[in-house]
A and B are shown apart, each in its own frame.
Chain A
Amino acid sequence: MPSVCFYFQVHQPFRLRHYTIFDKTPNYFDDFRNASICRKVANKCYLPTNRLLLDVIRRYEGRFKVAFSLTGVVLEQFQQFCPEVMSTFDALAQTGCVEFLAETYYHSLSFLYARQEFIEQVNMQMQLIQKLFGQTPRVFRNTELIYNNQLAETIEAMGKFDAVITEGADHILGHRNSNFVYRPPNCKNLKLLLKNYSLSDDIAFRFSNRQWNEYPLMANKFASWVNRINGNGQVVNLFMDYETFGEHQWQDTGIFDFMAHLPREVLSHSDNDFKTPSEVADAYPAMDVVDVPHIISWADTERDLSAWLGNAMQSNALHEVYRLEKMVKQTRDDQLLADWRKLQTSDHFYYMCTKYFADGDVHKYFNPYDSPYDSYINYMNVLNNLKARCEQALPGQAPRNSPEAQ
């Protein structure tokens, strides 16, 4: 009886241009680079995968369903740089088999630093989804699946959501598995959907790995793994970056064929079906309470915040950007506010990560910097300029603390 629940994350940050301390102009973003990355990924992933999904959805007449979480910043870039992607997402929305999730508009870490700002950003993203796709999201996912009990409480208190999504990390589950619906403590109605990281990563990471003993992964094999859950679970949550299709796993790995054949293989077992996250939340009761007092995420093997908050530069940059909140909002300058918010996108801090830097690892994906140090320097130079603009807009207000701490 397991329901297969797909959710794809779609996000691209507004990457910064090279910005030295000598720069004075308030244009911070590398339009050329952002446009070319956006178009490149659109051609390799977003467009072909959207067309594929559209095709599969039509073929199975409502029996195949997926969900997307689209950040506000990626939607802005689609509109600006590749509107054709927008129309394919719109076509998907029209099928009625596609659900859109809520998250922060700026793919930010605001939940950790500025609670009111966090709520504003969630509302902004929901309004945009409503405007573009005519849907009001009912399920929330936080940036990088960052989650703890408090997040669940905050989300329930917003009164708009049936469920929240996070990582099915072993240490929060204990002897349990991720294939049931759970409930956060201190929440009345909100349900918790947990990512089945093992099966998700089989597609997202291991699919093209020739050293993997299950290589090559075929749709029927994967479906047999799903069938095995029968009796020990109700839902298989397959959550992954959308760029898995065509970008992380290139077309020649056969990832598109895999996806095209998977629905038939899964549906060939009459107990199986596909559900969107809100349908899962409606269909299955919460089996147990999952307590997450400490923050988790879906990143790296640590499943913690260390990819964004692992060194002194990251912590400094994050504190400095959120310290400007009051000042930025006082200026009532929309451009300033938008710039400040784009600087909150988690990718900026991810680029400053020194964890795997010397090994030249995963953090390289579309990273515009040669080193985490370059990234921090650039970010701080931009932030200083933004702060100077605030000070200019608010004459007479002495700056409390400067971001440069010197």
Chain B
Amino acid sequence: MKVFMLGWEFPPFISGGLGTACHGLTRAMSDLGVEVVFVLPKPFQQTANNHVRMLTPLQVKPQTVTSTQIATSFVQKELKHVTFHAINSALQPYATPQVYQQQIEQLIHQKATQEQFKAISGMDEVCHWLSQEPSTMGQPGHYSGDMYTEVHRYAASAVRLAMQEQFDVIHAHDWMTYPAGIAVAAISGKPLVVHVHSTEYDRSGEHVNPMIYDIERRGMHAARKIIAVSHMTRNIILARYGITGDKVEVVYNGVERNGDASQYNKIGIRSDEKIVLFLGRITMQKGPEYFLMSARKVLEIMDNVKFVMAGSGDMMHRMIEMATQMGIGGKVLFTGFLHGKDVQKVFQMADLYVMPSVSEPFGIAPLEALNYDVPVLISKQSGVAEVLHHVLKVDFWDINEMANKILAVLKYPPLQLTLREHGNFEVRKLRWSDAARKCIKVYQEMTQGG
């Protein structure tokens, strides 16, 4: 079994749960002996302190680059059966069209003239990009003018790659890769699986972006099978995208064990202070304002608490203002986006992890918190609430109850103890190998059934 997998982020280049999920799933599949060709957009701005080898910008040109060359330069030690292909693209997970536009303009300013840019903007079909001379693609400066175009340009590059590969199944993660998945499926005749980690309704509530919705819908309809990360997501797929139930399988995410229980000192925070942690993108979907409103209620009862908001996002500035307006500015710390070790540190400092998401298809972060022995309070509007029992649950809008539960964890040590004990045990049962097995079963049904 060989899988052509289309992702859009992979550790260490991650900004959210999708990269973690892709990594966990791919690794588990590799362990089970499944070959994976992993294609992802290559970030065009690399951070300097990055110790992982990334390819020189890949030119998707069959004549000059063979897949073995790509493979040797980008195989991670632990992923025996996985080959990576990076495609130059400004696509970033969780980016909104506006953010993309800003980045592109910046890039154009840096690297390309306005005329060059104009020449390629407005092209939004995969076929167009396929007709282009491959050598012009993947060159810096040739990024498309808007996100939708870029998604299709990315699809064209993926098709070129696919033509060099033999595989049995195409597995596409979230909407940005769906057009690529559809195109590769069309050209190879292999079945397509789309893996829904989130939908436009989760990210944007009722104010969906119709173009993204359209891409999602087309991807789901073109796919032979759909994998949803929770029943909650499955329900959205059925209710909002006109898909029939027999097409959608639920495969829960897992978590990798990283049981380093050594305690960090609470740097800059007094040891008698309790820490309540929010970790995630500070966006509408994650419900940061409910976290702050509960924080204010908690502080009415208890003073020695700090609320840490780790993450960045389009609502961050509004949240900073909101905290100040509520008069709890001194009690809320904003850390910005955290990487690797810092994530570990902040988890280990926390007395409680809160995920007040308005709509969370799954939510891997609570699993990580439990892994670090941190008790967890999650919104009932999250997919992970379907699999976790030894956590506290609350409706995201019920700030009174959220505050009540936060206070209970801080005030009643036996509660923290019991949650930690059972939660850590429960989270060990959620393994990527089980998720991988379920995906493989889906592949097998498709390839055997048709």
A354 touches B418 (CB 8 A): yes
A372 nearest CB neighbor, chain B only: B418
**Distance to closest chain A CB from B378 (angstroms):** 12
Q: Collect the chain B residues with CB atoms within 8 Å of residue A145's CB.
A: none
B390 touches A354 (CB 8 A): yes
A317 nearest CB neighbor, chain B only: B414
A21 touches B422 (CB 8 A): no
Asked whether A315 is an interface residue with its Cβ less than 8 Å from the other chain, the reply is yes
**Distance to closest chain A CB from B427 (angstroms):** 12
B389 touches A357 (CB 8 A): yes
CA distance A357 to B390 in the complex (A): 9
Q: Which of B301, B400, B404 contacts A377 (CB 8 A)?
A: B404
**Distance to closest chain B CB from A83 (angstroms):** 36
Q: Collect the chain B residues with CB atoms within 8 Å of residue A358's CB.
A: 389-390, 426
Q: Collect the chain A residues with CB atoms within 8 Å of residue B111's CB.
A: none
**Beyond A380-B412, A404-B411: 16 further Cβ-contacts under 8 Å?**
A20-B400, A22-B404, A312-B421, A316-B412, A370-B393, A371-B393, A372-B418, A373-B392, A373-B415, A376-B414, A376-B418, A377-B392, A377-B412, A380-B415, A406-B410, A406-B412
What are 18 contact pairs spanning A and B, CB under 8 A?
A: A20-B404, A312-B418, A313-B414, A354-B418, A357-B389, A371-B389, A371-B393, A373-B390, A373-B392, A376-B414, A376-B415, A377-B392, A377-B405, A380-B411, A381-B408, A406-B410, A406-B411, A406-B412
B404 touches A376 (CB 8 A): no
Q: Which of B389, B390, B405, B413 contacts A406 (CB 8 A)?
A: B413
Q: Collect the chain A residues with CB atoms within 8 Å of residue B411's CB.
A: 21, 380, 404, 406
Majority SS of interface residues in chain B?
Answer: helix
Q: Provided the pairs A22-B297, A358-B389 are in contact, do residues A311 and B408 lie with their beta carbons within 8 angstroms?
A: no
Q: Collect the chain A residues with CB atoms within 8 Å of residue B404's CB.
A: 20-22, 377, 381
B412 touches A405 (CB 8 A): yes
Asked whether B401 is an interface residue with its Cβ less than 8 Å from the other chain, the reply is yes
**Distance to closest chain A CB from B299 (angstroms):** 13
Q: Collect the chain A residues with CB atoms within 8 Å of residue B414's CB.
A: 311-313, 315-317, 376
Q: Contact flags (1/0) for B271-314 with A, using CB distance below 8 Å? A: 00000000000000000000000000100010000000000000
Chain B positions 386-413 with a Cβ under 8 Å from a chain A Cβ: 389-393, 400-401, 403-405, 407-408, 410-413
**Distance to closest chain B CB from A387 (angstroms):** 13
CA distance A404 to B408 in the complex (A): 9
Closest 10 CB pairs of A and B: A20-B404, A316-B414, A312-B414, A377-B408, A358-B389, A404-B411, A312-B417, A313-B414, A21-B407, A313-B418
Q: Collect the chain B residues with CB atoms within 8 Å of residue A357's CB.
A: 389-390
Report which residue of B391, B392, B408 has the largest number of chain A beta carbons within 10 angstroms of its beta carbon: B408
Q: Collect the chain A residues with CB atoms within 8 Å of residue B422's CB.
A: 354
Asked whether B419 is an interface residue with its Cβ less than 8 Å from the other chain, the reply is yes
B389 nearest CB neighbor, chain A only: A358
Chain A positions 366-406 with a Cβ under 8 Å from a chain B Cβ: 370-374, 376-377, 380-381, 404-406
B298 nearest CB neighbor, chain A only: A21
**Distance to closest chain A CB from B303 (angstroms):** 12
Q: Collect the chain B residues with CB atoms within 8 Å of residue A317's CB.
A: 414
CA distance A376 to B407 in the complex (A): 13
CA distance A197 to B422 in the complex (A): 31
B404 nearest CB neighbor, chain A only: A20
CA distance A380 to B407 in the complex (A): 11
A376 touches B389 (CB 8 A): no
Q: Collect the chain A residues with CB atoms within 8 Å of residue B297's CB.
A: 22
**Distance to closest chain B CB from A320 (angstroms):** 10
Chain A residues with a Cβ closer than 8 Å to the other chain, count: 24
Q: Collect the chain B residues with CB atoms within 8 Å of residue A21's CB.
A: 301, 403-404, 407-408, 411
CA distance A317 to B413 in the complex (A): 11
**Distance to closest chain B CB from A314 (angstroms):** 9
CA distance A311 to B418 in the complex (A): 7
**Distance to closest chain B CB from A306 (angstroms):** 14
CA distance A317 to B412 in the complex (A): 10
**Distance to closest chain B CB from A165 (angstroms):** 33
A376 nearest CB neighbor, chain B only: B415
CA distance A372 to B415 in the complex (A): 10
**Distance to closest chain A CB from B411 (angstroms):** 5
CA distance A371 to B404 in the complex (A): 15
CA distance A49 to B407 in the complex (A): 46
CA distance A370 to B405 in the complex (A): 14
Q: Collect the chain B residues with CB atoms within 8 Å of residue A405's CB.
A: 412-413
A404 nearest CB neighbor, chain B only: B411
Report which residue of B400, B408, B414 has the largest number of chain A beta carbons within 10 angstroms of its beta carbon: B414
A373 touches B418 (CB 8 A): yes
CA distance A406 to B390 in the complex (A): 23
CA distance A313 to B409 in the complex (A): 11
**Distance to closest chain B CB from A17 (angstroms):** 13
CA distance A374 to B400 in the complex (A): 14
**Distance to closest chain A CB from B419 (angstroms):** 6
Q: Contact flags (1/0) for B419-450 with A, using CB distance below 8 Å? A: 10110001000000000000000000000000
B411 nearest CB neighbor, chain A only: A404
A319 nearest CB neighbor, chain B only: B414
CA distance A203 to B79 in the complex (A): 57
CA distance A354 to B422 in the complex (A): 8
Q: Collect the chain B residues with CB atoms within 8 Å of residue A370's CB.
A: 393
CA distance A370 to B388 in the complex (A): 13
CA distance A313 to B392 in the complex (A): 14
CA distance A377 to B407 in the complex (A): 9
B429 nearest CB neighbor, chain A only: A358
A370 nearest CB neighbor, chain B only: B393
Q: Collect the chain A residues with CB atoms within 8 Å of residue B419's CB.
A: 373
CA distance A381 to B407 in the complex (A): 10
A18 nearest CB neighbor, chain B only: B401
Q: Collect the chain A residues with CB atoms within 8 Å of residue B426's CB.
A: 358
CA distance A10 to B185 in the complex (A): 66
Q: Which of B301, B400, B408 contacts A380 (CB 8 A)?
A: B408
**Distance to closest chain B CB from A375 (angstroms):** 11
Chain A positions 335-356 with a Cβ under 8 Å from a chain B Cβ: 354
CA distance A312 to B403 in the complex (A): 22
B401 touches A20 (CB 8 A): yes
A352 nearest CB neighbor, chain B only: B418
CA distance A372 to B408 in the complex (A): 13
